[in-house]
Amino acid sequence: MNKAKASSEKSVSASSRTISLLSQLEKINSDSVLGESDSARHVTSRILHLVQSQEKTRKEMTSKGSTGIEIILSTLENTRDPQTILNILNILIEIVSVGGGRRASVLVTKGGTQILLQLLLTASKDSPPNEELMVLLHTLLAKVGPKDKKIGVKARINGVLNISLNLVKHNLQNHRLVLPCLQVLRVYSTNSVNAVSLGKNGVVELMFKIIGPFSKRNTSLMKVALDTLAALLKSKTNARRAVDRGYVQALITIYVDWHRHDSRHRYMLIRKGVLQCIKSVTNIKLGRKAFIDANGMKILYNTSQECLAVRTLDPLVNTSSLIMRKCFPKNRLPLPTIKSAFHFQLPVIPASGPVAQLYNLPPDVDDVVDESDDNDDAETESEIETEIDDDKDQHFKNDDIETDINKLKPRQELGRSIEELKMYEQFFPELSENFQEWDLVSKEPKPFVPDANLSGPIVVPTASEEHSAEAKPSTKGIALKECSPLLTEEYNRRPVFLELPKKDNMKSSSLHQQNDQRNMLPSCQCLSQEIVKGLDRISLQNSAKNDQYYGTGCVVEKESKAGITTLASSKPFEHVSPCGGSLFEGSSVQLGKLCCTGVDSEEEEDSRSSSSGEHATLQISDVSPVHDCDLYLEMVKNTKSIPEYSEVAYPDYFGHIPPPFKEPILERRYGVQRTKICQDIERLIYQNDIIDRVVYDLDNSSFSVPEEADVLKFNSKFESGNLRKVIQIRKNEYDLILNSDINSNHYHQWFYFEVSGMKTGIGYRFNIINCEKSNSQFNYGMQPLMYSVQEALRCRPCWTRVGTDICYYKNHFSRSSIAAGGQKGKSYYTITFTVTFQHKEDVCYFAYHYPYTYSTLKMHLRKLESMHNPQQIYFRHDVLCKTLAGNSCPLVTITAMPESNYYEHIYQFRNRPYIFLSARVHPGETNASWVMKGTLEYLMSNSPNAQSLRESYIFKIIPMLNPDGVINGNHRCSLSGEDLNRQWQNPNPDLHPTIYHAKGLLQYLAAIKRLPLVYCDYHGHSRKKNVFMYGCSIKETMWHTSVNAASCDLMEDPAYRALPKILSHTAPAFCMGSCSFVVEKSKESTARVVVWREIGVQRSYTMESTLCGCDQGKYKC
């Protein structure tokens, strides 16, 4: 107790002494008393003693509310006594030396920087300058400077820039003085104007007098000199000066010398400092050329390879890698043009926009000229990457947020006359159908209760209540009170155009119910070993004429009763051309290659033995009932593609099922990206080891597939396929180039291609080298998808995630700024992955995501139409319009049939609110189609919740807004070369027919006062996980801007949050935290914003589904 008391008393005593001394110093400053210098010197000496011995004193001096710093600085500014000045400088150094940067920041805010610079200017006038004073001043400035963002400007204004430089010039051997001076020069050089000014006075040359070959002496001075030089060389002027004097070669020589002698890696910071200087000087084109001429690529490659074994040297390896990638000569893609390999002549050429620019480009814009010095060092891809949330929709740029209240407020503008919109009346027969000639389930009407059926709340069934099937559907779900206006005013009167003419528009929908329900060819039907060995392709025409294509006695028979295609063969095939196939009458369609080797007996035995394990053999009952091989081929015949595809990809024909096991997100192996980049750099260093052989080329119509056994065969000539060119780089490594969207010279991300001719036990590396996005989920666990035909024939027709050593990074290919439309980001990116195949001579397909073709959609719609019960479900499949290529854009209507054909039931049927859904406006977002497929199948199912939804709403669905883009393997655009989801404001009927007529349907509903309750456009997201929504809110938009005053008076119905909130409670994959309701200027022409702003649908959404996986909840990978 006594010790504690004594300690406490001592602390209080020290505190009181500090306050007393500061009071004395303040009085000295205010009084002009004779002998004040001695007093100030004495007081500051005592304060220095307290500061050096007690941390508490240092804290008190910079604590909030303390005037200690002001008193000290005031004394420093006013005194002329050298010893007092030295005491105060030592006090300040002691204060800022500990406690992080906070104390230095306090000194800056109190005006300390300006006082110190003035003192430096005054002290420099002494001849000779006081060395001790200069050391202390520069030491303090070096500590305070980094916390003062304007120190460079202050130093220049006060005229002290060259003081530190001259001190270094004249005292090179005085390391005690030179060291803090260099530290201050480093701080000054962060200002580009200062760096140029110092450079003109010979600072670059001076630095090279200090740095040099390996030496154990003065290493701290060497380190500071290198850091200063690296900062100076960020100035292009200084960098050019360094190049002109041959300093690039000198830096490389110095680095090699330190690398060779520093065997124990004690001087890694010096080695890194040299690399930072090289990195700065190679920001300019002259620096990169000098680096290449000095054999820098090979030198840095060899030294970095020698460092790989020591983990602590990773900073050296990463910096070397960045320098080599930067200096790797920029090349154009090895293509005749970066425009698409396919051309479609537009009916109208736009006057402006990307398509107009493309048509006006000069012929040589693909040539890459490295004319710029703007290499972006921001992309330092360190090995231990932290996932930067590049969700630009969450971290909005203020200048992209709409701040004009008048533009934000929804205003219903039809844009077309009522007479013009009447053309869409034909797509809403449900508003006039009287069902008088229909044999409905019940002719006797149930008691008509207007309150319950017409003016009550709309019930939204939820997935979480699926298990309670015995509950009444009408009582399930969550009541949305916001929809009362639709239910009261509109339901209590007959809407416009709502009459009861005698029509029978629904008869046709039942015609497909007759003989169309034949048994399909199941996706996992196992073929016998003899049959497989006798096949190279399956015949696609059920006719005796096909016999001539086999020539070996293989006969195709079709049972009329069961409708199952069976294949028989009298003897095994000899060699069959891989390009063979059967022909349709009037249309040639070929099926992708089957495996010639058949099923090995050992593998067959393995597959049987694994049937009880995790990868259990799937039964026929597991196969989706909406896939029909024969029907798919029938759909393909009427699909129109620009390349006029005649082949069918096996996965699309045969179908697929989900893998019977959970696929985790891939954990990235340490060092994989660095290794891949080094292998790319080897191409330049060891050019003789590169094969550089074209093995697939869409641009060369006469190109023939190589016949060598050790070369992979590629193909993408089928619906939704995208692969333009393949170059063999090494024996088992291939560069793949994707085709740009038609009528465009960019948008490369979607890929879908076939590979054959592989061997087992070999790792094949695939590099897709012309991707454009700056980041990808491939860096965070996503894998490409592969479909193996051999596996499909073994009853495992699955797309599975495959690949190791996966990464996504910027490469050395680029396009000119003209071809890039003036965009700064001109470099391409590489997706690289390595695959080891399970089966020899297999035929495998790779895809960016699960493919979903236009023909698949047509097949699914036909099957749904033929399988539904017309007495319970009202289902219509219309053609909204024709696309530019002449394909049909489907429009689907789903609701419940009325209970009877009595008026009250017909009235309830017609007055159900509309829900409008659309999908696949971006072809590469195939997951949007799979979500839409699930939506359609659920709405057509026997689920009580589905029945409740049908009884509550009329669903108008456009399942594919961009059929042409999907068919031709585009990633983003339609045949017009434009992003259709940026055309909703002013769609052109000639260039954007699907958008024009989709908007017309919504405008028609607005005209007849039947606004949809919900509009939702399905999309896929390539850089975020989970499922989430974007909506529209005025208030939430204003919250993200500085214009908050106007938003305070806004009254906004929060109903726009209702649906996302429901999904967040019922759908495990849905993430409310990723949702956003901000309206951006760049999105003003998207479906979501236009339907909200112009049509007036409050609940207008974009629903985004991840291309990778979930990082939350039940489905977390």
Residue 825 confidence class, pLDDT cut points 50, 70, 90 = low
Q: What is the β-pairing status of strands 590-591 and 647-648?
A: parallel
Q: pTM for the full model?
A: 0.79
Confidence band for 412, pLDDT divided at 50, 70 and 90: confident
Could you tell me which residues are beta bridge partners of residue 788? Answer: 844
Res. 228: pLDDT tops 50: yes
Taking 70 as the threshold, does the pLDDT of residue 5 lie above it? Answer: no
Secondary structure of 702-761 in the HEC alphabet? Answer: CCCCCCCCCCCEEECCECCCECCEEEEEECCEEEEECCCCCCCCCCCCCCEEEEECCCCC
pLDDT of 365 reads 66
Q: Which amino acid is at 4?
A: A
Is residue 741 within 8 A of residue 747, CB to CB? The reply is: yes
**pLDDT tens-digit series, residues 464-475:** 333 333 333 333
Residue 992 burial (CB count, 10 A):
24
pLDDT band at 256 (very low <50, low <70, confident <90, very high): very high
Lowest model confidence (mean pLDDT) among 397-406, 496-505, 630-639: 496-505
User: What pLDDT is stored for residue 836 in this prediction?
Assistant: 97
Residue 154 parent element (H or E): helix 151-158
User: What does the longest C-alpha to C-alpha distance in the chain come to?
Assistant: 124
Among 217, 226, 268, 285, smallest CA distance to 250 is for 226
> Pairing mode, if any, of strands 763-771 and 733-737?
parallel
Question: C-alpha dihedral over 798, 803, 806, 812, to 10 degrees?
Answer: -100
**What is the CA 489 to chain-centroid distance, rounded?**
45
Cα 561 versus chain centre, distance: 51
Confidence of residue 1004 (pLDDT cuts 50, 70, 90): very high
- Model pLDDT, residue 761: 93
Mean pLDDT of the chain: 80
- DSSP conformation class of 6: H
The answer to whether residues 632 and 819 touch, using CB atoms and an 8 Å cutoff, is no
What the block records as the tokens of 519 is: 């048994």
> Chain-centre distance of CA 408, in angstroms?
27
Better pLDDT: 914 or 4? 914
Could you tell me the two tokens for 266?
């004690």
Chain-centroid distance of CA 665 in Å reads 16
Instruction: Give how far Cα 998 sits from Cα of 784, 1002, 1006, Å.
Output: 33, 7, 13
Residue 922's identity, in one-letter code, is H
Q: In one letter, which amino acid is 148?
A: D
Active site residues: 1104
Kind of pairing between the strands at 565-568 and 555-558: antiparallel
Share of the chain above pLDDT 90, in %: 56
Q: Which of 391-405, 623-637, 765-779, 958-972 has the lowest mean pLDDT?
A: 391-405
How do residues 578-624 score in pLDDT, each as one tens digit?
A: 333 332 333 445 666 554 444 444 444 444 444 333 333 333 334 46
Q: What is the pLDDT of residues 1008-1054, one digit of tens each?
A: 999 999 999 999 998 899 999 999 998 888 887 665 544 456 778 88
Give me the helix-helix angle, 236-244 and 203-210, nearest 10°: 60
Rounded to whole angstroms, the Cα distance separating 638 from 632 reads: 10
Token pair recorded at residue 732? 């088992």
Quick one: average pLDDT of 490-516?
36
For the chain, how big is the Rg over CA atoms in Å?
37
Q: Which residue intervals of 489-609 are DSSP H helices? A: 507-511, 529-533, 601-609
Please tell me whether residue 636 adopts helix, strand or coil conformation: helix
Helix (H) or strand (E) holding 796: none
Q: What percent of the chain has pLDDT over 70?
A: 76
- φ/ψ of residue 65, rounded to 5: 90, -10
Q: What is the DSSP string of 857-909?
A: HHHHHHHHHHHS-TTTEEEEEEEEEE-TTS-EEEEEEEEEPPSSSSHHHHHHH
Please check the confidence at residue 483 and state whether its pLDDT lies above 70.
Answer: no
Asked whether residue 821 carries a pLDDT value surpassing 80, the answer given is no
pLDDT value at residue 535: 32
625-636 mean pLDDT: 89
1014-1021 and 914-919 beta bridge pairing: parallel
Residue 16's pLDDT band, with cuts at 50, 70 and 90, is confident
Confidence at 368, pLDDT banded by 50, 70, 90: low
Contact indicator for 880, 994 with CB cutoff of 8 Å: yes
Q: Which range among 43-47, 244-248, 673-677 has the greatest average pLDDT?
A: 244-248
Mean pLDDT of 689-699: 95
Q: Is 374 helix (H, G, I), strand (E, B) or coil?
A: coil
Tell me the three state secondary structure of residue 459. strand
C-alpha span between 252 and 827 (Å, rounded): 27
Confidence of residue 21 (pLDDT cuts 50, 70, 90): confident
Bridge partners of 764, per DSSP, are 835
CB atoms within 10 A of CB 605: 10
Provide φ and ψ at 734, rounded to 5°.
-135, 135
700 C-beta neighbours (distance < 10 Å), count:
12
Q: Is 830 left (phi over 0), alpha (psi -120 to 50) or beta?
A: beta
- For residues 855 and 589, the answer to whether their CB atoms sit within 8 Å is no
DSSP letters of 816-873? -TTTTTT-S--EEEEEEEEEE-SSTT-EEEEESS----HHHHHHHHHHHHHHS-TTTE
971 touches 747 (CB < 8 A): yes
